[in-house]
Amino acid sequence: MLEIKNLKTRIGDTEILRGLTLSVQAGEVHAIMGPNGSGKSTLALVIAGHDDYVVTDGTVTYNGKNLLDLEPEERAREGVFLGFQYPVEIPGVNNAYLLKAAVNAKRRHNGQGEVDAFEFLKLAREKMAALGMDPKLLNRGINEGFSGGEKKRNEVLQMTMLEPSLAILDETDSGLDIDALKAVAKGINTLRSPDRAIVLITHYQRLLDYVQPDFVHVLSEGRIVRSGDKSLALELEDKGYDWVREAASA
Amino acid sequence: MASENMESLVNRRYEHGFVTDIETETFPPGLDEGVVRAISARKNEPKFMLEWRLQAYRQWLEMREPTWAHVHYPQIKFNEISYFAAPKSDDDRPKSLDEVDPKLLETYEKLGIPLHERARLAGVAVDAVFDSVSVATTFKEKLYEAGVIFCPFSEAVREHPELIKKYLGSVVPRRDNFYAALNSAVFSDGSFVYIPKGVRCPMELSTYFRINAANTGQFERTLIIADEGSHVSYLEGCTAPMRDENQLHAAVVELVALEDAEIKYSTVQNWYPGDENGVGGIYNFVTKRGDCRGANSKISWTQVETGSAITWKYPSCILRGANSVGEFYSVAVVNNMQQADTGTKMIHIGPNTRSTIVSKGISAGKAQNVYRGLVRIMPQAHGARNHTQCDSLLIGSECGAHTFPYMEIKNPSAKVEHEATTSKISADQLFYCRQRGLSEEDAVNMIVNGFCKEVFKELPMEFAVEAQALLNVSLEGAVG
Ligand SMILES: Nc1ncnc2c1ncn2[C@@H]1O[C@H](COP(=O)(O)OP(=O)(O)OP(=O)(O)O)[C@@H](O)[C@H]1O
Ligand SMILES: [Mg+2]
C-alpha cells in the first residue's frame, strides 16, 4: 500500500529524513518509535503533503501512485489520514462543519452524494460517545480551547468518521488519561481491517498494549535503524534508544 | 404638476443664464445652480424641493472634502462629473439573457440568484421579464392594503410633500458633511418608505426592492419613516455585481423610528471594485443615519460590504428616545487594491439607551480595511450601555487592518465595553483542512464564513445564503 524508498527531505538547509525506507501493506499495523527530533513527525507530514518539506531524493508510492505528485487534499480524498501531533485551532468554525465537509469531500471524490445531515449527526454522536467525548465539542470552534486530550480524541473522531485506508497517528496517545487511552485504542482497533493500514507514532508501550502492532520500527536521525515485531517495543522500553543507536553504528 | 410652477422654474433657469437642455439624457459635466435647477425641473419637483436643493448647493460650496479617512485616491474633480443621467431606455438594453455577458451570468450562478431575477439584474429590457413584473404587482397590492407607502423618492416628493417636508434632512442635515451636502443638492432618486402607526410591514421590503432594482443613479436618497409601534425590514442593494459608469457614489439614507417602532436595515453592497490594480472601481461615500426618536424604538443596521474601490461609510444611530436600541452588524471584505474606512456611530442621548456593535473586517491581497467607531454617551443618558466587538481577519501578509475606536463618555453611570481581536488565516490551519480533504479555497471560505457568522445571522434568511456565497466569490484567488 505504502512504499517509501530512500526518502530524503530537508526543511530550509537542514536535512531531516536521510534515506528512509519503509514498506506498509494493507491489513498491517506499524509502530514507529524513536528519540525526540529524530524525524517521526516530519515523515508523517511529508506523507500528508506539507509543502514546508522539500523532498530531495527517494520515492513514495501509495497504491501504485506517486504520492508526491498529489496535492494534500487529493491524498486525503484518496484515503490518507494524518492525526496531528499538534492539532491546530480554528476558532469560529464549527467542529461539526469541518467534519461534515471532510466526509463530503471524500464522498464526492468517490462519486457518492453528500451525506444526509441527520444520519451524519447521529453517526458523529455515536462515535463521540464511544470515544468518551462530550457531545458539546461538536458545536465548538475546531479545537478551540480544547484540552490536550480532547484535541487528540477529536483527531480520532475525524479518523473514525473518514474511515481512511492509511491512517497515520502522530503521538495520538500522548496526553490521554487512562480511560481515554483505552477508548482511543478501541477506536483504532475497530478500524483495523484487511484493506486498511495503520501507522502509530508513539513513545510509549502502553498504547501498544492495547493496539498490538505487527511491526515496530525505530527511527533515528532520519533513518529507520531497526525493525522488528512487537517485542522490539518492549525491549526498547527496557533498554532505551542508546542501545539501538549503538547497535546501528556498530 | 402645475404648469405655471414648471414655467417659473424654467424661467428662473434662464435668469441664471443656464443653457442645459433638460430633455437630454445626460447633462454635460459640471455643477452650478443651473444644474441643480435643471435636475429639479427634470423631476417635476415642487418649489420647496428646489429651494431645499439650492440651499444645500450653497452650503456645499463652502465646505471642504474630508481628509481624515484612511483612504487614498486621486483628487475628485467635481466639475468633470455629470450630475444627471436618465435611466437607459429599453432600446439600449439587452433583449434577453442570451445577449448578456456570460461572465456575469456565471457569477449569478455562483451566488445562487434565482433564475427569474437574473434577467432584471442583468438589465434586460423590462417587458422581456414577465415573472418578476407580476410578482412585483402582487407585492404592491399587499403593501397598499397595509397602508404602507413604498415608492421612488421622486414620486414621494410629488405625492407626499408633507411627509418629505417634515422628515427630509431631519436626520442628516444638508450641511452634515461634504458628501451629504452634495447629495442634497443633486440627488437623483431613491426610495421612500412610510409605515403607518402600529403596522407591521407584511413583507421584507428586500424581495420587492430587488425585483425593482433599477438604476438609481449615483446620488441616491433614501428616507424611511416607521411611525409609532410599526415595524419594517428593508434590504438595500443586492449580491449581484453592480457596474456603473459613474465612479463617484454619494448616497444619503435617513431612518426615523418613532415610539416603539423598529427598523431593520440590511445592505449588501457589491459595487465594482476595479481590477487587480484598482483601476475603474467605484468610490462609495455614503451617509447613513438612523434616529431613534421615540421611546423604546430600535434601529438595526446590518451590512455586508464587498465591493467598491473605496468605501467611506458609517451607518449611525442617534438614540434619543428613552430605552431605545441601536445595533450595527458589519462584514467588510477588501481584496486586491480595495480600501474601506467604515464603522458606526452610536450617540446615546436618552436614558437607558443600549447599543451593540459587531464589526468583522476581512482583508486580503494588498487591501486596507479600517474600522472607525464612535460611542458617545451624553450627560443625560443615564444607564446607557454599549458593547463593541471588533474583529479583523487577515489573509496573506500584504494587507492591513486598522481599528480606531473613539469613546466619549459624559455620564458616569454608563457602561461601555470594547473588545478587539486580529487574527490571520495561518498556513497550518489551511494545511489541517486540506489534510481533511478540503481544497484551499474551500478552507478559506469555511474560515471566513465562520468568522462572519454572527453578522450573517442578522440578515434575512435568503440573503444570508447569498451573502455567504458572495464572500466566497470576492475572495477567489486570495490565497495561493
Ligand atoms: N521548520 C523547521 N525548521 C528547522 N528545523 C525543523 C523544522 N521543523 C522540524 N525541524 C527539525 O527537524 C527535526 C525532526 O523533527 P520532528 O518533528 O520530525 O521530530 P519527531 O521525531 O517528531 O520528534 P518528537 O518525538 O519530539 O515529536 C527536529 O530536529 C526539528 O527541530
Ligand atoms: Mg513529533
The 10s digit of each residue's pLDDT in B212-251 is 444 445 788 999 999 999 999 998 876 555 555 567 888 9
Residue A225: is its pLDDT beyond 80? yes
Q: How far apart are CA B446 and CA B459, in angstroms?
A: 18
Domains, chain A, ranges and CATH? 2-249 (3.40.50.300)
Burial status of residue A3 (CB atoms within 10 A of its CB: 0-12, 13-18, 19 or more): middle
Q: Which of residues 415-444 of B touch A (CB under 8 A)?
A: 423, 426, 428-429, 431-440, 442
Cβ–Cβ under 8 Å, residues B306 and B278: no
Chain B residues with CB-CB distance to A141 below 8 A: 450
- Residue B124 confidence class, pLDDT cut points 50, 70, 90: low
- Name the percent of chain A in helix, strand, coil, to the closest 5: 40, 30, 30
Q: Ligand 1: which atom is nearest the Cα of residue A45? A: 18
Cβ–Cβ under 8 Å, residues A2 and A61: yes
Quick one: which of A98, A83, A42 has its CA closest to A188?
A83
- Minimum Cα–Cα distance from A47: chain B residue: B435
Measure CB to CB from residue A90 to each of B435, B437, B447 and give the nearest one: B447
Triad B445, B448, B452: Cα angle to 5°: 135
Which residue has the least CA distance to atom 3 on ligand 1?
A: A11
Residue A113: is its pLDDT beyond 60? yes
Residue B23: is its pLDDT beyond 80? no
- Tell me the pLDDT tens digit for each residue of B265-302: 998 877 777 777 767 778 888 999 999 999 999 999 99
pLDDT score for B230: 98
- Please tell me which residue, B30 or B344, carries the higher pLDDT value: B344
Q: Does the C-beta of A14 come closer than 6 Å to ligand 1? A: yes
Q: How far apart are CA B129 and CA B96, in angstroms?
A: 9
Residue B36: is its pLDDT beyond 90? yes
Measure CB to CB from residue A76 to each of B429, B434, B447 and give the nearest one: B434
pLDDT score for B8: 39
The region of weakest confidence among A79-88, B236-245, B453-462 is B236-245
Residue B174: is its pLDDT beyond 70? yes
The verdict on A102 touching B (C-beta cutoff 8 Å) is yes
Give CA separation, B245 vs A167, B88, B133, B287, in Å. Answer: 56, 12, 26, 21
Which residue has the least CA distance to atom 31 on ligand 1?
A: A37
pLDDT score for A243: 79
pLDDT score for A87: 97
Q: How far apart are CA A232 and CA A236, in angstroms?
A: 6
Measure CB to CB from residue B446 to each of A77, A81, A97 and give the nearest one: A97
Q: How far apart are CA B204 and CA A79, in angstroms?
A: 47
Structure letter (DSSP) for residue A114 = P
- Tell me the pLDDT tens digit for each residue of A130-149: 999 999 999 999 999 999 99
Q: How far apart are CA B181 and CA B204, in angstroms?
A: 30
Pocket test for ligand 1, best of A42, A203, A220 (most atoms within 8 A of CB): A42
Ranges B116-125, B277-286, B420-429, most confident:
B420-429
- Residue A242 confidence class, pLDDT cut points 50, 70, 90: confident
Q: How far apart are CA B357 and CA B346, in angstroms?
A: 9
Residue B6: is its pLDDT beyond 70? no
The verdict on A146 touching B (C-beta cutoff 8 Å) is no
- Tell me the pLDDT tens digit for each residue of B384-399: 999 999 999 998 888 8
pLDDT score for B328: 97
User: What's the per-residue H, E or C state across chain B?
Assistant: CCHHHHHHHHHHHHHCCCCCCCCCCECCCCCCHHHHHHHHHHCCCCHHHHHHHHHHHHHHHCCCCCCCCCCCCCCCCHHHCCCCECCCCHHHCCCCHHHCCHHHHHHHHHHCCCHHHHHHHCCCCHHHCHHHHHHHHHHHHHHHHHCCEEEEHHHHHHHCHHHHHHHCCCCCCCCCCHHHHHHHHHCCCEEEEEECCCCECCCCHHHHHHHCCCCCCCCCEEEEEECCCCEEEEEEECCCCECCCCCEECCEEEEEECCCCEEEEEEEECECCCCCCCCCCCEEEEEEEEEECCCCCEEEEEEEECCCCEEEECCEEEECCCCCEEEEEEEEEECCCCEEEEEEEEEECCCCCEEEEEEEEEEECCCEEEEEEEEEECCCCCCCEEEEEEEEEEECCCCEEEEEEEEEECCCCCEEEEEEEEEECCHHHHHHHHHCCCCHHHHHHHHHHHHHHHHHCCCCHHHHHHHHHHHHHHCCCCCC
Structure letter (DSSP) for residue A173 = T
Q: How many angstroms from the chain centroid is the CA of residue A246?
A: 29
Q: Which long-range contacts (CB under 8 A, 24 or more apart) does A206-211 make?
A: A206/A173, A206/A181, A207/A173, A207/A181, A208/A31, A208/A233, A210/A181, A210/A182, A210/A185, A210/A186, A211/A29, A211/A185
User: What is the arithmetic mean of pLDDT over B32-38?
Assistant: 92
What whole-number percentage of chain A has pLDDT above 70?
98
Taking the CA of residue B131 and the nearest CA in chain A, the distance in Å comes to 32
Q: How far apart are CA B357 and CA B345, in angstroms?
A: 9
Rounded to a whole number of angstroms, the CA Rg of chain A reads 18
- Please tell me which residue, B89 or B115, carries the higher pLDDT value: B115
Q: How far apart are CA B300 and CA B317, in angstroms?
A: 8
Q: Ligand 1: which atom is nearest the Cα of residue A38? A: 21
- Minimum Cα–Cα distance from B446: chain A residue: A93
Up-side HSE of residue A214: CA atoms within 13 Å toward CB? 15
Burial status of residue B218 (CB atoms within 10 A of its CB: 0-12, 13-18, 19 or more): buried
Triad B67, B68, B69: Cα angle to 5°: 95
What the block records as the C-alpha cell of B106 is 456565471
Q: How far apart are CA B32 and CA B10, in angstroms?
A: 15
Which residue has the least CA distance to atom 6 on ligand 1?
A: A11
Which residue has the least CA distance to atom 1 on ligand 1?
A: A11
- Tell me the pLDDT tens digit for each residue of B139-170: 778 888 999 998 888 889 999 999 999 999 99
pLDDT score for A167: 97
